[in-house]
Amino acid sequence: MNRAEPPTAPAVAPAVASAVAEPPATGAWRDGDPAGRRRFLALPGPLALEAGGVLPNARLAYETWGTPAPDGSNAVLVLHALTGDSHLAGPAGPGHPTAGWWDALVGPGRALDTDRWFVVAPNVLGGCQGSTGPASAAPDGRPWGGRFPFLTQRDQVAAETALADALGIGRWALVVGGSMGGMRALEWAVTHPRRVGALLVLATAAAASAEQIAHASAQLHAVRADPGWHGGDYHHLPPGAGPHRGLGLARRLAQLTYRSEPELAARFGRAPQPGEHPWRGGRFAVESYLDHHAAKLARRFDAGSYVVLNEAMNAHDLGRGRGGTAAALRRVTAPALVAAVDSDRLYPPAQQAELAALLPHADAPRTLASRYGHDGFLLETAQVAPLFTELLPPPR
């Protein structure tokens, strides 16, 4: 999922100005860029990968809020979605092109009260905002590019386990994630049941469905068909020469799955983009909205990471090698909450109902009422906040 536009965003996105500078070959954070609030952990050794081989010299970027208890018992792990990053909370600024993606939930007195809880948000392995991914330097000093290995959610959780060890956290009070982050939260609870004190997953599933794989596959074809893709080896190219057109098309396709038809109808209908005439070759307002999101992503994300992370999401299957989904979920010992978005057409509520029914210590799934579709888990923070209260113990 994307960093969602807040409900207060203008009804019609601005047109993409033709006079702006060409997009960079990659929107990845690179060594030498401002670090912002990021911290970095070099993994202690080569990371053995589920599909075979190893990833050497890997690191994770992460951010923290609050103060850890001496025994690490107040730690909460928050895992981001597809195009998110470690900047869970805080303003945009040097090193952080956008404000925190769940800012309304993190801070003193908020659902994740940083006067009580030590909140940790890593950038996923394979991502592009400080953690090792295709835009990062390989051992030979050149970007990994198309040589970057195939990753699964289990590999990403293995890297996050090393981060927990380095921070002295033997057991998370809560692990939470939505969409792709929910996949990793579930992997945490299945792989390390004793290290997860409580589990909250939103708008996610136990395994990627055929339709979800198909949506992602179309986006991957769009990226790889761009002449600027060069087999994934484009990071050295000048602005305008990378695969930004393919990445932009992928984003347009994805955006249609992130939002609901009623929201698009209410926001845009058949309105033209101001000053343009669709019946004379101009754009409808909804086209401008998609153009806006395509251009925005190309300036803050990496096409190679988009491919790597989508492939990892397609491979998501808790039951692989574990005797099936039901057997895998029986390993979970933590109290759990599963939340669905009623208008979600990418991860429909039926998937969350199935997941909740298989978790040993989960009630019936909660439902977030939202017109925003899948992005509702990011936008409906007033409905998400009470879910934290249900799972985290009250103050002493």
DSSP string, 41-83: EE-SS-EE-TTSSEE-S-EEEEEEES---TTSTTEEEEE--TT
Instruction: Give the whole-angstrom CA distance, residue 121 versus residue 112.
Output: 12
- C-alpha span between 119 and 396 (Å, rounded): 19
The band of 261, judged by pLDDT with boundaries at 50, 70 and 90, is: very high
From the list 224, 232, 209, the residue with the least C-alpha distance to 345 is 209
* Residue ranges of domains in the chain, CATH in brackets: 39-391 (3.40.50.1820)
Q: In this predicted structure, what is the pLDDT of residue 394?
A: 80
Q: What is the per-residue pLDDT for 170?
A: 97
Q: Residue 22: its pLDDT value, please? A: 94
User: Is the C-alpha dihedral spanning 313, 314, 320, 325 positive or negative?
Assistant: positive
% of the chain beyond a pLDDT of 70: 95
To which residue do tokens 């860029």 refer?
33
- Name the nearest CA neighbour of 5 among 352, 307, 390, 264: 264
Residue 176 is classified by DSSP as: E
CA dihedral 115, 4, 180, 374 (to 10 degrees): 110
- Residue-wise pLDDT tens digits, 139-178: 999 999 999 999 999 999 999 999 999 999 999 999 999 9
For residue 19, the model assigns a pLDDT of 40
Annotate 340-389 with three-state secondary structure.
Answer: EECCCCCCCHHHHHHHHHHCCCECCCEEECCCCHHHHHHHCHHHHHHHHH
Pairing of strands 59-65, 118-122: antiparallel
Span 31-51, mean pLDDT?
Answer: 97
Residue 14 has pLDDT above 90, yes or no: no
Q: How far apart are CA 256 and CA 251, in angstroms?
A: 9
Give 175-200 pLDDT, tens digit per residue: 999 999 999 999 999 999 999 999 99
Average model confidence (pLDDT) for the chain?
94
Average pLDDT over residues 13-32: 74
pLDDT at residue 18 greater than cutoff 70: no
Confidence of residue 21 (pLDDT cuts 50, 70, 90): confident
Q: Are 372 and 379 in contact (CB under 8 A)?
A: yes
pLDDT at 5: 53
Rounded percentage of the chain residues whose pLDDT exceeds 90: 94
The string of pLDDT tens digits covering residues 197-235 is 999 999 999 999 999 999 999 999 999 999 999 999 999
Residues marked as catalytic: 179, 344, 374
Strand partners, 143: 137
Segment 367-374 mean pLDDT: 98
CA-closest candidate to residue 77, choices 189, 2, 1? 189
Residue count of the chain, please give it. Answer: 396
Q: Give me the mean pLDDT over the 96-116 stretch.
A: 97
Q: How confident is the model at residue 393 (pLDDT cuts 50, 70, 90)?
A: confident
Averaged pLDDT for residues 87-106: 96
Q: Collect all residues with Cβ–Cβ distance below 8 Å to 141 and sequence separation of at least 6.
A: none
- State the average pLDDT over residues 248-253: 98
Please determine, for residue 253, whether its predicted confidence score (pLDDT) is greater than 80.
Answer: yes
User: Looking at the chain, which runs of residues are DSSP E strands?
Assistant: 39-42, 47-48, 54-55, 59-65, 75-79, 118-122, 174-178, 199-202, 336-341, 366-368
Query: What is the average pLDDT across 312-336?
Result: 98
Please give the structure tokens belonging to residue 325: 């989904």
The maximal CA–CA distance of the chain, rounded, in angstroms, is 67
> C-alpha distances in angstroms, 49 versus 123, 156, 303, 367?
18, 9, 22, 36
**Does the structure show a pLDDT above 80 at 396?**
no
